Chains A and B, each alone.
Chain A
Amino acid sequence: MSTDSPIARRLANVKQIILVLSGKGGVGKSSVSTQLALSLYALESSPRVGILDVDLTGPSIPRMFGVDEGYDVHQSSAGWVPIYVDGAERRLACMSVGFLLKRKEDSVVWRGPKKNAMIRQFLSDVRWGDLDYLVVDTPPGTGDEHLSLMEHLAPLQTRLSSVVVTTPQAVALTDAIKGISFTRVVSLPVLGLIENMSGYVCPCCGEISNIFSTGGGEELAKRENIPFLGRLPVDTELVDLLDSPAAAASQGDSSDPPPSFPLLAHYKQTPSFTLFSLIVRKVADALSPPTSSISESAAGDGTLVSEP
């Protein structure tokens, strides 16, 4: 067995791999990854999307997609079958260490070498099939998981890119700079920076409070010379939705046909969806240069009507 073949072979039909990075924890990597996957999924071209959660000691992706209970990964002769979260369409596949735990409160207490082996297994054994985008949610920091990912994905270098997430306060920005310098060291292209949790709108009086201050991300992007993808305020509707997608789904607000993919239907109603679809345009355009001419219209009305 040559060193690169199993992973390269497995991911041969994956067109783009997007790593979601941030130096600091809790800035919203998982929620950005989830939104990125959902918004890419909602593009007109109906791409096939995969999401891989490599946060081994604190997986959040299963909860955010509402598949944290009673879902097991099945092993077939061709590898591990990911969990399809979009019902019958089977265009959105999801894989996380959370699916492998017997009880969800079990802790995964692993040192580096074991984490490395797990990541390699995720990359070489999961039967993704054809994917247009594979979104990889990473743990905070620049440690074992990140180095292992880059090592194993090295043969696929041309299809790799990354998105850096930060919150606007100084403490998070210093960590984001570390994340950016990581991408430089391993020569990983950066599609851009997203400033998350930028301001909170009081539901009572509408006053905007900058809980974690604001604008720091954009400044940082300018200084580090990377594209700034956008600013996302704290959206309580989104927080609620991703925290308990099952509860949101059961509310089923009297709409006539039950949506086939309730999470996406609900997500489209949040203010974040509108903002995020602008970001996704930029991401999709950056990844496929020929269609970049649409980006101008995206800023106008185009994105709001993406799908009824």
Chain B
Amino acid sequence: MLAVQQQPATTPEQPSASLPDIPSNAPQHCPGTESELAGKSDACNGCANQEICASSTKPKGPDPALPFIRERMADVKHKILVLSGKGGVGKSTFTAQLAWAFASDETTQTGVLDLDICGPSIPTILGLANEQVHSSSSGWSPVYAQPNLAAISVGFLLPSAKEAVMWRGPKKNGLIAQFLKDVDWGYLDYMLVDTPPGTSDEHLSVVQYLKESGIDGAVLVTTPQEVALQDVRREIDFCRKVGIPILGLVENMSGFVCPGCKTESKIFKPTTGGAKRLAEETNVELLGAVPLDPRIGKSADYGVSFLDDYPDSPATAAYLDIIDRK
């Protein structure tokens, strides 16, 4: 015991509260919340947070689901994550448009994986709102919007769209693992992964599970105002921390063209230079800017492809331009 010379614990009187590895109210000799011993060392006995530390440590040994996921993902050529720090910037809409665009080539097989477990939008946007998943001997069959466009979402598993999915992290992780190992996609050229806002359980899990199979990269979606950009900076930080290449940044809802007078106005003003400046600052490619068109929202509500229905909209041109650049 004497040999275990612990580092002196951080001084209990910190000038300002910050987020240290060792919390300021931790017992003496706290091994640190990120440590292997978190929640298990002698010092942890009696600490109010012992249970949390013990449960938040990563599961020891490889996850038993990993080999199955690797096998399933061997048939998926490209895996692209659609991320954004903030909610409601158009991740799902962008994912869906990208999927429709890929699927317009009949020889391309595309799959959409919706990881937004508490608020799945993909079923509505792809026009699959009342569909159910079928299970067969080879796994769960995804729901097809088109013969070459498949989708899976927690929305297909719920008995009613009204029901709230009130799940904590571990349960979400379980479902994500199941989506990755049990869904019978068949061969896919592209798998687009739509994520919930933030940087939490869902994001960590999908990155962890797909690490071995490799993720091609992430597309970050933002809106022009600083409140959204702040969250995107955090997301870029996240991608760099976990080592996912960033394919680029898409600025959504940039400018609005009035259908009456055709004048463009900015609803969400880029007060700090918008995505353009962010892209320059962080050295991320700006893939393009999509103007706000009320018909985009309407297409999403009715579950039809905006690109097919309104080929003349400036937003369509912007979308196709972005898609071409990938």
Contact = CB atoms under 8 A, between A and B. Distances in A.
A111 interface: yes
Contact of A58 (B85, B272, B301): B85
Contacts of B236: 105
A204 B166 contact: no
Contact of B164 (A114, A182, A203): A182
Contacts of A205: 258, 260-261, 263
A295 interface: no
Interface string B109-127: 0000000111101001100
Interface stretch (A43-51, A238-246, A267-275, A300-308): A238-246
Given A107-B238, A171-B121, A239-B225, A139 B301 contact: no
A204 to B, nearest CB: 4
Contact of A142 (B165, B197, B200, B223): B165
By DSSP majority rule, is chain B's interface helix, strand, loop, or mixed?
loop
A190 to B, nearest CB: 13
Given A100-B17, A142-B118, A108 B227 contact: no
B269 A213 contact: no
B18 interface: yes
B269 A236 contact: yes
A140 B197 contact: yes
Interface in A141-168: 141-144, 146-147, 167
Nearest to B167: A143
A177 B162 CA distance: 6
Interface residues of A, number: 77
Given A24-B87, A102-B18, A212-B297, A240 B269 contact: yes
B107 interface: no
A279 B253 CA distance: 28
Nearest to A209: B294
A74 B269 contact: no
B263 A204 contact: yes
Contacts of A247: 271
Contacts of A179: 164
A185 B86 CA distance: 27
A170 B301 contact: yes
A291 to B, nearest CB: 33
B201 A111 contact: yes
Given A73-B17, A171-B125, A185 B237 contact: no
B16 A243 contact: no
Contacts, number: 248
Nearest to B293: A211
Given A109-B238, A209-B256, A211-B256, A104 B230 contact: yes
Contact of A115 (B172, B200, B267): B200
A299 B79 CA distance: 54
B20 to A, nearest CB: 10
B204 interface: yes
A108 B261 contact: no
B234 A108 contact: yes
Contact of B87 (A25, A73, A144, A244): A25
B247 interface: no
A105 B227 contact: no
Given A80-B17, A210-B294, A114 B230 contact: no
A198 interface: no
B89 A181 contact: no
B19 interface: yes
Contacts of B165: 142, 178
Given A202-B261, A236-B269, A112 B119 contact: no
Contacts of B260: 202, 205, 207, 209
B138 to A, nearest CB: 30
A141 B118 contact: yes
Interface residues of B, number: 80
A55 to B, nearest CB: 8
Interface stretch (B49-57, B60-68, B69-77, B212-220): B49-57
Nearest to A25: B87
Interface stretch (A7-15, A60-68, A256-264): A60-68
Given A72-B16, A202-B265, A181 B163 contact: yes
A98 to B, nearest CB: 9
Given A24-B119, A209-B256, A141 B24 contact: no
B227 A243 contact: yes
A202 B258 contact: yes
B286 to A, nearest CB: 17
B218 to A, nearest CB: 13
A178 B226 contact: no
A181 B164 contact: yes
B272 A244 contact: yes
Most chain B beta-carbon contacts within 10 A, residue among A24, A72, A75, A243: A243
A116 B118 contact: no
A58 B162 contact: no
B198 interface: yes
A106 interface: yes
A107 B207 CA distance: 16
